Structure 1
């Protein structure tokens, strides 16, 4: 957990304001106390103050000093409604609709980030990934030059020789069901940049398939090949290779047989899955069978950091994602 220790220290050194729209949810309340006590961020809970404080008392949680905002009584709600209307008026938005939508905690939290009243947002303990992405894509939108929002997991595998001393990044495991080859190339590039900027490692990206360097011929394999070619063309500074099977990507002996001329094979620390089914299944297999800690899913590609949680997350998971979001915000605020 050396990486997380470094990220915790980075978060403490320059605390960011992170909004938690699921403020009335038990695990979120427990996590908020930990975030406050460790000085990891300035957490902002969205919800009814009386309900949140009552639940905190039942949980024996101290939320003193934590900001709690109820959209229904927030002094800047009219400003938020007008701003949201302006963003969406060309899509048929009316002021009446905006008035209702912005009071939804997820939309409200996203507007806080958009209007710089928060540096980042974390949600997903009780909402789906789609619930988070919808306001994110409508309000925050993508970083200029980035064509697609995607997700990644940081997988920490105990006592493992693979990846970067047991740490690997998996993408995309939560957002894009069946990416085109152009989107797959964009996901590979985004995850490589995340590995470099957030995890401080030199990325070695494997584009996964059921074929290694032409061992099979199929339209699904062709998509991965084209994605690899495009990613290399767009970012020749990155080590990206494929198509390759998982064992060729991470096992040196297999790589020597199947892909002897690859800089990535046998040494990959970033695994890009060809579609959401394989990515989602893959991270859960490693999490359950290898006892890995799966940190995420984190989002990449948004103009400002908003991140997702698994609905099966623990309060500790929420703390970790808040820390990662804070460090993302630090980088974007430079």
Structure 2
């Protein structure tokens, strides 16, 4: 697990703010606790504060060092909605529609990343990939030169002769339904 150790060491030296849109799920609360306990960064759970506190209390999970934001009652709701409206100006969305979109934790979290209120976004425990990717591709956008979103899994093997010193990056074309030949080539290059 050399790669994982290197990544954890780097995060401990340069902690990141990670937003977890599915903050009302026990697994996500546990992951946020672990992330904070390992000093990897500052986790941000999105969801109803009372519900998150009740779930954490029932499972005896400390929320110390974990920020909780309820999008519906956030002081940033208006600002995030206005910023989102600027991004989707060509769609002619009204501010009220943009506020409604920001009530969706995946959209709220994506805007936090876009506005540099968070460094990263972890979602998908309770939401299908398409629901997670939609706001990310609309708000955060793809990196220059990347045409389609790509999922990737990393496997670290004991056999160092395989891959790059035992590390394999496995492209996941499940993000793109029925990829063309060009899509598959782009997925391979991006991975």
8 A Cα contact 1:129 1:174, kept in partner? no
**What displacement does 1:47 show?**
0.7
Counterpart in the other structure of 1:183: 183
Deviation at 1:92, TM superposition (A): 3.4
CA contact (8 A) 2:3 2:156 kept: no
Q: Output the CA distance in 1 between the equivalents of 2:173 and 2:43.
A: 27
SS where residue 138 of structure 2 aligns? helix
Which residue does 1:295 correspond to in 2?
none
2:23 aligned partner: 23
Q: Which residue of structure 1 lines up, in the alignment, with residue 79 of structure 2? A: 79
- Note if 1:140 corresponds to 2:131: no
Partner of 2:156: 156
Which residue in the other structure is 1:5 paired with?
Answer: 5
SS of 1:36's equivalent in the other structure is: helix
Moved over 6 A (4+): none
Q: Quick check: 1:153–1:173 contact (8 Å CA) kept in 2?
A: no
1:28-67, aligned counterparts within 5 Å? 28-67=28-67
Give the TM-score, by structure 2 length. 0.93
How many Å apart are 1:32 and its aligned residue? 1.2
Q: Is the contact made by 2:42 and 2:65 (CA closer than 8 Å) also made in structure 1?
A: no
CA deviation digits over 1:219-270, x for unaligned, max 9?
xxxxxxxxxxxxxxxxxxxxxxxxxxxxxxxxxxxxxxxxxxxxxxxxxxxx
Partners of 2:82 and 2:95 within 8 A in 1: yes
Report the Cα offset of residue 165 of structure 1: 5.0
Query: Highest Rg: 1 or 2?
Result: 1
Alignment of 1:293-332 (within 5 A): none
Per-residue deviation, 1:160: 7.9
CA RMSD of aligned residues (A): 1.6
Equivalent residue number for residue 97 of structure 1: 97
> Partners in 1 of 2:154 and 2:114 — Cα distance?
26
Structure ranking higher on relative contact order (CA contacts 8 Å, 6+ apart) = 1
Q: 8 Å contact 2:173–2:184 — kept in the other structure?
A: no
Q: Distance in 1 between matches of 2:159 and 2:64?
A: 40
Retained in 2: the 8 A contact 1:113–1:119?
yes
- How many Å apart are 1:159 and its aligned residue? 5.5
Q: Using the TM superposition, give the Cα deviation of residue 189 of structure 1 relative to its aligned residue in structure 2, in angstroms.
A: 1.8
User: Residues 77 and 6 (structure 1 numbering): CA distance in 2 closer, same or farther, change over 3 Å?
Assistant: same
Distance across 1 between alignment mates of 2:171 and 2:85: 34
2:158 and 2:55 mapped to 1: Cα distance?
35
Q: State the shift of 1:85 in Å.
A: 1.3
Q: Partners in 1 of 2:177 and 2:170 — Cα distance?
A: 15
User: 1:158 Cα shift?
Assistant: 5.1
Structure 2: stretches of 5+ with no match in the other structure: none
CA distance in 2, matches of 1:160, 1:144: 32
Corresponding position of 2:68:
68
Q: Displacement, 1:4?
A: 0.3
Contact 1:15 1:41 in 2 (8 A): yes
> Aligned-pair distance for 1:115?
0.8
